[in-house]
Every structure is written in structure tokens, then in C-alpha cells.
Homo-oligomer: A and B are copies of this chain.
Amino acid sequence: MTARRPESQPRTDAAAVRPVERTRDADRTRAEILAVATAEFADRGYAGARVNEIAEKLSTTKRMIYYYFGGKEQLYVAVLEQAYGRIRALEQQVDVEHLEPVAAIRELAGLTFDHHEAHPEFIRLVSIENIHRAEHLAGSPALAGLAAPAVDVLAAILQRGRAEGVFRDDVDALDVHQVISAFCVFRTANRHTFRVIFDRDMLDPATRDHQRRLLGDLVVAHLTAR
């Protein structure tokens, strides 16, 4: 029991020979843990995710998770914070001010549609957090009460549309956002049960394009009704 490392150890004393990796880098380690944890939590839920399994997919060890984050729950909160932060950053890049109101609504709805489809892990994390009644979200000072930029963009479009007389003046921006979100979240989050029960594959390109148009039609019809 004297041989500690039986193999796979250069031992040539030339420590600097190794390519590039394995230097000490707190930021890199933290980022790697977050990335792996995001995938794992999104994949299996909070209770279903295993700290040991996250650790095994890391190039570092489990000890680092506790060193940097403190515990499973805090790691999960950190994952949520990073995910929401990234989504907000993306939303802020939306630019539809150069379009006329109807086209702008269609574009915004379409972008949300694409965006949700492109980030299913985020939608999954949101579903998971709702299963837990948003208690972690509510407990995070970085996240609670901080609304999405998308609603402001939407409110501006509605304002312009009203001024131009093409939109009704009794429609609330948050309502419209909710309708768009509902449609986009549903087809991503509930895709699996919907497929089993109704045999509709949301990811099929034809279905996808059809639904993207449908969402635009739906919202515009509502905003321009009467």
C-alpha cells in the first residue's frame, strides 16, 4: 500500500511539460462547475440531479463545488442566476424600433419563439423552478422583482401602434407578453406529453414554421380586432 499513484503519472519532474491545462484558475473552475451543473439540473431537476454526478463530469473534484458554492442548493441558485442573466442580456439586444407596429409585433413574437426553441435548458430550469414554487428565485436578491426587458420593448411597440391607429387602445403589454410567452413556453416545455398524446412533433420544421406564423397571426388579430 505504498504506491500511491500506480500509473498515468509522468513523474519526470518536468512539471512545465504538460500542454496548457491544469494550472490554477478559480474563474475557469467556477465556470466549468456552473456549466456542468446547469446541464445536469436542467436535465434531471433539482432533486434528480446528483452532486456526485456533476462532480464526475468535471475536470476537477466534488470538493470544489462545496468550496465555491457551499452546497447543492446554492449551486442551483447560482445556475438560475446565470441562466436568467444570460436571457436578459439577449433580450436587451432586440431591436425592432425601425419596423412598423404590426411588423414589429410579428418580429418580436418570432424572436421570442426562436429564442425559446433555441434554449430549451432555460425553459426546463424555469419549469423546474416552478415545481419548487419559485422559492429559490424569490430568495435570490439578484433575481426577484427584476422584470424582463422584453415587456418594455413590447410596451413601446403597442404605444406606437395605438398612436398610428392600427392597434386597439385597451390591450395591456404584460397581457400580450404573457400570451406570447405562454405559447412559446408551452410548445417547448410540454412538447413531450403533447407529442405522446396528440402525435404532434413541435420540432418538425413544417410544424415549427406553421406555428411561428400562427403566433404572429394570433397576436396581431387580437391587437387589431374590431
Binding site for B on A (CB under 8 A): 44-48, 124, 126-131, 133-134, 137-138, 143-148, 151, 174-175, 178-179, 181-183, 185-187, 189-200, 210-211, 214, 217-218, 221-222, 225
User: Can you report 8 A-B residue pairs in the complex whose CB atoms are below 8 A from each other?
Assistant: A47-B48, A130-B191, A134-B193, A147-B198, A151-B198, A174-B200, A175-B211, A185-B186
Q: Which chain B residues border A191 with CB–CB below 8 Å?
A: 130
Q: Is the CB of A193 within 8 A of B130?
A: yes
The 4 A-B residue pairs with the shortest CB-CB distance, nearest first, are A182-B186, A134-B192, A47-B48, A47-B47
B197 A146 Cβ-Cβ under 8 A: yes
Docked CA distance A146–B197 (Å): 6
A90 nearest CB across to chain B (Å): 16
**A196 x B131 contact (CB < 8 A):** no
Q: Which residue of B lies closest to A148 (CB)?
A: B197
Interface centre among A47, A197, A211 (most CB of B within 10 A): A197
Cα A192 to Cα B130 with chains together (Å): 6
Apart from A151-B198, A182-B183, what are 19 other A-B pairs with CB-CB below 8 Å? A45-B45, A45-B46, A45-B47, A47-B47, A48-B48, A129-B192, A130-B189, A134-B193, A137-B197, A138-B196, A145-B199, A146-B197, A147-B197, A148-B197, A175-B211, A185-B186, A185-B190, A186-B186, A221-B225
